[in-house]
Amino acid sequence: MSEALLAPSAAPARDTTPLLDIRGLKVHFKTDDGMVRAVDGVDITANRAETVCVVGESGCGKTVTAKTVLKLIDMPPGRIVAGEIRFEGRDLVPLPPAEMRKIRAKQIGFVFQEPMTSLNPVYTVGQQIAETVRQHEGLSRRAALDRAAEMLRLVNIPNPQRRVQDYPHQFSGGMRQRVMIAMALSCNPKLLIADEPTTALDVTIQAQILDLLDEMKQRLGMAVLLITHAMGVVAEVAQRVVVMYAGKVVEEATVEALFATPRHPYTQGLIRSIPRIDRAASVHARLEAIPGTVPSLLNPPVGCRFAARCRHAMPDCVAAEPPLREVAPGHKVACILYPEHRP
Amino acid sequence: MTNYVVRRLLIAIPSLLGISVILFTVLALAPGDPFEELATNPAIPPDVRAALRASLGLDDPVWTRYFSWLTAMLRGDWGYSFVSRVNVDQLILARLPTTLAIIGASQVLALAIALPVGVMAATRPYSVFDQVANTLAFIGFSLPTFFTGLLLILLFSITLDWLPFVYRADLTSTGWTWWGEQIRQSIMPVAVLGLFQGAAWTRFVRSAVLDVIRLDHVTTARAKGLPEGSVTLRHVVRNALIPVVTLVALQMPTVFGGAIVTEQIFRVPGIGSLLISAILANDTPVIMAVTFVFAGLVIFFNLLADVIYGWLDPRISYS
């Protein structure tokens, strides 16, 4: 059992089709005030065994994008208006609910933001992990509980044999997030989507959870799609980064390229707004912030959505929406500052 | 757990004592004399009447009478009815099964309606089903039982002549015919009580389920790939049952109160109608005993609510 778990799930290194390929995804929500275009044409890819970070501020559509992959948004009011979500080449958008359930947890695991409320308070953590395993692998109750204990051991929870009998309220926030990760990984999925898994935790625990995610990825060989708003988290774990703003992708690059040469003014602003201990000590400069607020997604402005807050804005910015184009190998940006965007 | 129950039972003793003091005082202050019937009987000479009053202790001060009632009660002597000249405990024991059967059946009916309808309405909020269920529930618990009871009697007993409108405890038939007649005469009282409770609980179940259905752990359950039925039953209804069960147990005393009215309408010979006739006849020992039984039931169901609450919700600990 433990050997099977510790072995990488598969080694299709030659397979060049991306594991997850989101193309032109549009998710709109019907509200009393009108249609909210929460996700408005998003492309994200994740290759096997790769860690991709989706970063952006609150309300940029990153969580909706993540939840839409498993169709966990409420429909209605939400609706997938356009786009494809290809997982191993198969489009998940038209899949019927019964097929979708076979993908959830078995192929794609999901870790939520709030470990305090994401577990059911009336069942033991063992029962909750075992429930997932039984659903997908048809194990007996006994075997599923053994797997649950095995998973708790894997995520470094002490005394796993005894802890499976405990209820969620007997765990701290960090421990509950470990339980959530154990549950998401219990069926050995090929992709783990983690939606701000450390936001609700305090800083020391955040680092432990990020380390755990990284360790799990090394041992189990799955790909990770990590949603976050913290550039520090991005720098620590990502291989590739997708920057989202107001329901759109504005820049995509490897983590090295993004921090070395951020292209989009929004990304540049995000990086400048990271507090730096070396500067704080020498230069008496105020921490830079991006002025203004995110535009309403109810009636998004025409043209570049960042134009109103951009220090490089020019008249052409509001004329038409800049598409995402490659400006360097593997580095895409949606901004007319770059020659690739000029006709 | 056992400790907790024992502790709660011990706490119940002063509560019951307090209730009995209040009941006794109120009855002593109430106008009318339990001896009225004998007092107006011209065949009994005044000196015999005075001797009888003295021997029964009716002229003693209230507190003396209370303590003699209490000591007798504790010895198991519940006194005897002034009106029917039968021991009160026999009177209550003879009528309690009828009340329990009617109330039990009506509560089962109420839950059988409220649970499925409430859950279905909450899982499809603002749908046609939800709107219809809500409207019917609103009508159901707005109409008092004495009104629906009379309405049913008018319709099914008088106009259609399908069901008897008087509940008889002295059915002479035996075997299957007895069961048939028993069921036929129980239909209306059970329906009146059950539909009224069911309507109130439907709304409560609906709101309890709606509270749970939006919680994060329900999304987690979906993300685990569970079928929608399991998500609803295991992760929504199971959690929503915690407040529902508590409410049902706590409402039981109210149900007994409602049963008093229903028993009176359908002439069901239960302890509710016993209480009403005892009050009308100034039959103090019976009033005292029946209200005391009701008080005991209130305390018992409160305890039951707490125990079930702890059993359903592992976050509650009794240590």
Determine contact, residues A285/A261, Cβ cutoff 8 Å.
Answer: no
Interface confidence, given as ipTM, is 0.85
B181 vs A: CB within 8 A: no
| CA distances (Å), origin A205, targets A117, A150, B261 | 17, 22, 62
Report pLDDT digits (tens) over B102-159.
Answer: 888 999 999 999 999 999 999 888 899 999 999 999 998 898 888 888 888 888 888 8
Is A117 an interface residue toward B (CB < 8 Å)? yes
Q: What's the burial of B139, exposed, middle or buried (CB within 10 Å: 0-12/13-18/19+)? A: exposed
Q: Determine if residue B242 is left, alpha or beta; phi over 0 gives left, psi from -120 to 50 gives alpha, anything else beta.
A: alpha
Low-confidence ranges of chain A (pLDDT < 50): 1-4, 7-13
Among the listed residues A23, A55, A60, A69, the one whose alpha carbon sits nearest the alpha carbon of residue A38 = A60
Residue of A122, A124, A127 best to disrupt the B interface, most CBs of B under 10 A: A122
Give Dmax (Cα) for chain A. Answer: 67
Instruction: Looking at the complex, report in whole angstroms how far the Cα of residue A241 sits from the nearest Cα belonging to chain B.
Output: 25
Q: What is the pLDDT of residue A132?
A: 92
User: What percent of the residues of chain A are helix, what percent strand, and what percent coil, each to the nearest 5?
Assistant: 35, 25, 40
B293-312 residues touching A, CB cutoff 8 A: 312
What is residue A157's DSSP assignment? Answer: -
When CB atoms are compared, the residue of B216, B217, B225 closest to A136 is B225
Task: Report yes or no: A303 and A248 within 8 Å, Cβ to Cβ.
Answer: no
Contacts of A136 in chain B (CB under 8 A): 225
Please list the alpha-helical segments (H only) found in A75-202: 97-103, 125-137, 141-154, 160-163, 173-185
Other beta carbons less than 10 A from residue A315's beta carbon: 8
What pLDDT score does B166 carry?
76
Give yes or no for A220 touching B (CB within 8 A).
no
Using a CB–CB cutoff of 8 Å, tell me whether B217 touches chain A: yes
pLDDT along chain B (319 residues), means of 10: 83 88 85 66 76 75 84 83 82 86 90 94 90 92 86 86 77 78 85 91 93 92 91 92 86 80 84 86 84 85 84 79
The span from the CA of B310 to the CA of A172, in Å, is 22
Tally: H helices and E strands in chain A: 12, 12
Q: What is the pTM of this model?
A: 0.80
Q: In what order do the strands lie in the sheet with A240-245?
A: A108-111, A191-195, A223-228, A51-55, A240-245, A248-254, A331-333, A325-328
Which residue has 């409770």 as its token pair? B197
Is A118 touching B (CB cutoff 8 A)?
yes
| Identity of the residue in A101, A112, A121 whose CB atom sits nearest the CB atom of B227 | A101
A48, A70 contact by CB (below 8 A):
no
- For residue A114, give the nearest of B216, B223, B242 by CB distance: B216
Give the orientation angle of helix A203-220 with respect to helix A173-185, to 10 degrees.
20
Pair B265, B149: CB distance under 8 Å: yes
| Residues of chain B with C-beta less than 8 angstroms from the C-beta of A105 | 223-225
Q: Where are the domains of chain B?
A: 32-77, 89-312
The burial class, CB within 10 Å (0-12 / 13-18 / 19+), for B54 is exposed
Q: Do B220 and A180 touch (CB under 8 A)?
A: yes
Can you give the pLDDT at residue B319? Answer: 62
- Partner-chain contact A114 B221, CB within 8 Å: no
With CA atoms as reference, the chain A residue closest to B242 would be A122
Strand partners, A52: A225, A240
Q: Could you tell me which CATH class the domain B89-312 is placed in?
A: mainly alpha
- pLDDT of A1 reads 44
pLDDT of residue A53: 94
- Read off the DSSP letter of residue A240: E
The letter for the amino acid at A243 is: V
* Residue A167 near chain B (CB below 8 Å): yes
Residue B174 has a pLDDT of 78
Partners of A35 in the β-ladder:
A30
pLDDT in tens, B177-189: 878 888 888 888 8
pLDDT of residue B267: 84
**CA–CA dist B262, A21 (Å, integer):** 67
Give the Å distances, CA to CA, from B216 to A97, B181, B219, B223, B236: 20, 52, 5, 11, 11
